[in-house]
A and B are shown apart, each in its own frame.
Chain A
Amino acid sequence: MTTAAAPLSVFATPAWYQNRTLRRFMRHRLAVMGTVMIALLIMACVFGPYLLPYDDLKIDIRHRFAAPFTGDHYLGTDALGRDTAARLLNAGRISLLVGFFAMVISTVIGASIGVIAGYYRGWLGAVLMRIVDAFLSFPSVFLVLVLAAFIKPNPIMITVIIAATSWMEIARIVETEIRSLRERDFILAARMIGASSRWIMFRELVPNAIGPIIVAATLTIAHAILLEAYISFLGYGIQPPLPSWGNMLNSAQQYLGKAPWLAIVPGLAITLAVASFNFIGDGLRDALDGRSDLK
């Protein structure tokens, strides 16, 4: 029966095209470009350092301040003659990892608080959301700098600090979503069956809120990368000799006139990564918008 009903066309629709979410995402051109950029960036950071002729820590005083695309330093060298390309890719490892793990931590914290506040409402929900408001009312950069001034800045601490100041937006988004979802009749049906609160939160509500959570998480990576760059640029973040895009900018400051590429290269990398994650987030927002297929 299936064979008889199959279309006669020789050109079968590719399997991915049947998935509506993916189809909607593929129509979002910037998001697709963002995905490609991030994929390339990740591959470059993972494999690049092994392929480049120079180590990122190798000092070569004779070739200081080499300009990009001259000689065999593809992106030039810095004040100590270290290869900028190698430094950029190694810094990318740190910056992307910090961004990624900060996203994971803040998504777990934010989503948990949002789910609990949205589900229980009442005084518990009110207290949790006032805490969110309190955190939000501090400018997060200020908060990060205060925390960083007290805590020894290694990459793990920087990740934790960034996460600690980035979970509130997710908590808010999730709380709003859960609050409206819990009014739907299928929640009443679950209660009618005697389902536990845990079941209702994690088996009924969270799977329906996964779209907004993924979107918020993607945008949080962008935010976290930017925040890391910012605090490292100010000197409170990742400490040299460990490179990060932010501290590369920091050390480039003194030579802006002499060797502007030292700032331009990491600056471009940051812009590219942040913009790409933002585009992906936008694309996901459209693609995962439940309203079109949940009806």
Chain B
Amino acid sequence: MKPRPLIEAVGLAKYFPVRQGLLARNSAVVRAVDGVDLTIARSEVLGLVGESGSGKSTLGRSLMMLDPPTDGQIVFDDTEITPFSDRLLQPYRKRMQMVFQDPFSSLNPRMTVGEILEMPLRFHAAALDKAGRREKAEQALETVGLPGQYLTRYPHEFSGGQRQRIGIARALILEPEFIMADEPVSALDVSVQAQVLNLFARVRQNMNLTMLFVTHDLAVVGHIADRVAVMYLGRIVEIAPTRTLFAQPRHPYTEALMSAIPMPDSGNRRQRIVLKGDIPSPISPPSGCAFRTRCPYAVLECAQARPPLRLVEPGHQSACIRDDLTLVSPLDAVSEASPTWARAI
């Protein structure tokens, strides 16, 4: 039996009007998210990967109803929340929270850590008095591995990794069911990244969290995600359980992303696929398959119609029309020297 989805997006789209030139008002739109269907089951961690500019953050923010979508529906725990006003959304805010990429801009520099952590409680736990809020904030700090007496300090007194922990504590303090983490380790040093990822893995276990974990780094996704969605120019081009995706990528874009993961000691079969040019402008994406301008396997038919996500095997969907391809997996060359996550999956 399939687990009940916690959050679901149907045909989700987010367009941003852009002004081109002085007089032409709203003559064009950026199709940042362009028709995304997505389901995240309870207690599942879905990784969302793609190059910078592919629309991951916009998709995440739309799911959280921070930027109301242009089109499509969002269903949270069997309730469609898309048409909800801020007031109606308020009870849902408690149930979904966000962790941000930049630990420097995500904490108000003029508030103490205590004020930052108590803020969600002011809005969502009115029954708690000052002392109760303080106690909860202290607990939240300890959950993320920081001593409780840091509550009186200001964000600038902390390192990037510590700040990110504070950001995680803020997201967890209301005990949400769903967390959207937007590149939460991208801004951190590699050594700190592993610690913060472990923290995510731990709280996810302990709090039975459902997560959308956004990253441009496939190696990070290998650590933490149960399933991975690959995004390109506002669309999901492949989605599969993490192991399946790594073992048998079915979309050439996924193959290219994977070929860029550094893998020591891989055989000579593994070659980095260097994508031609930049990601095209989401103002005028290529017709047909949006990836065709950079795809090494593109054929004429690729330009004809936008390929829908199709089931290629149970639980594995891809939006490439070519079923004849055998794509290279980074796991083909896994050896003792490979990173732990690659050996684990």
Are B86 and A190 in contact (CB-based, < 8 A)? no
Are A208 and B66 in contact (CB-based, < 8 A)? no
How many residues of chain B have a CB within 8 Å of chain A?
Answer: 28
A120-128, A263-271, A287-295: which lies at the interface: A287-295
Minimum Cβ distance to chain B for residue A111 (Å): 16
Asked if B250 is at the interface of the complex by the 8 Å CB criterion, the answer is no
Are A204 and B108 in contact (CB-based, < 8 A)? yes
Are B100 and A185 in contact (CB-based, < 8 A)? yes
Q: Which chain A residues numbered 145 to 192 have a C-beta less than 8 Å away from chain B? A: 184-186, 188-192
Count, A-B residue pairs, CB within 8 A = 57
Are B66 and A186 in contact (CB-based, < 8 A)? no
Q: Which chain A residues numbered 28 to 49 have a C-beta less than 8 Å away from chain B? A: none
Residues from chain B with a CB closer than 8 A to the CB of A191 are 66
A194-B89 contact in complex given A189-B106, A295-B156, C-beta closer than 8 Å: yes
Are A189 and B100 in contact (CB-based, < 8 A)? yes
Find the residue from B61, B90, B98, B108 having the highest chain A CB count within 10 A. B108
Tell me, in angstroms, the Cα distance from A191 to B97 when the chains sit together. Answer: 10
Tell me, in angstroms, the Cα distance from A294 to B154 when the chains sit together. Answer: 10
B66 partner, pick from A188, A207, A293, A294, beta carbons under 8 A: A188
Minimum Cβ distance to chain A for residue B152 (Å): 15
Minimum Cβ distance to chain B for residue A124 (Å): 17
Minimum Cβ distance to chain B for residue A221 (Å): 25
Residues from chain B with a CB closer than 8 A to the CB of A207 are 108, 110-111
Asked if A195 is at the interface of the complex by the 8 Å CB criterion, the answer is yes
Are A293 and B156 in contact (CB-based, < 8 A)? yes
Residues from chain A with a CB closer than 8 A to the CB of B109 are 208, 290, 294
How many residues of chain A have a CB within 8 Å of chain B?
Answer: 18
Asked if B305 is at the interface of the complex by the 8 Å CB criterion, the answer is no
Asked if B128 is at the interface of the complex by the 8 Å CB criterion, the answer is no
A193-B124 contact in complex given A186-B106, A207-B110, C-beta closer than 8 Å: yes
Are B64 and A185 in contact (CB-based, < 8 A)? no
Are B104 and A192 in contact (CB-based, < 8 A)? no
Are B93 and A193 in contact (CB-based, < 8 A)? yes
Tell me, in angstroms, the Cα distance from A194 to B167 when the chains sit together. Answer: 16
Minimum Cβ distance to chain B for residue A188 (Å): 6
Are A194 and B97 in contact (CB-based, < 8 A)? no
Q: Which chain B residues numbered 54 to 68 have a C-beta less than 8 Å away from chain A? A: 61, 64, 66
Chain A residues with a Cβ under 8 A of chain B:
184-186, 188-195, 204, 207-208, 290, 293-295
A-B contacts, 29 of them at CB < 8 A, read: A184-B105, A184-B106, A185-B101, A185-B102, A185-B106, A188-B66, A188-B106, A189-B98, A189-B106, A189-B107, A189-B167, A190-B119, A191-B66, A192-B64, A192-B66, A192-B97, A192-B98, A193-B93, A193-B123, A193-B124, A194-B86, A194-B123, A195-B123, A204-B108, A207-B108, A207-B111, A290-B109, A294-B156, A295-B156
Chain B residues with a Cβ under 8 A of chain A:
61, 64, 66, 86, 89-90, 93-94, 97-98, 100-102, 104-111, 119-120, 123-124, 156, 167, 170
Known: A189-B100, A192-B66, A193-B119. 4 other contacts (CB 8 A): A189-B167, A204-B108, A207-B110, A208-B110
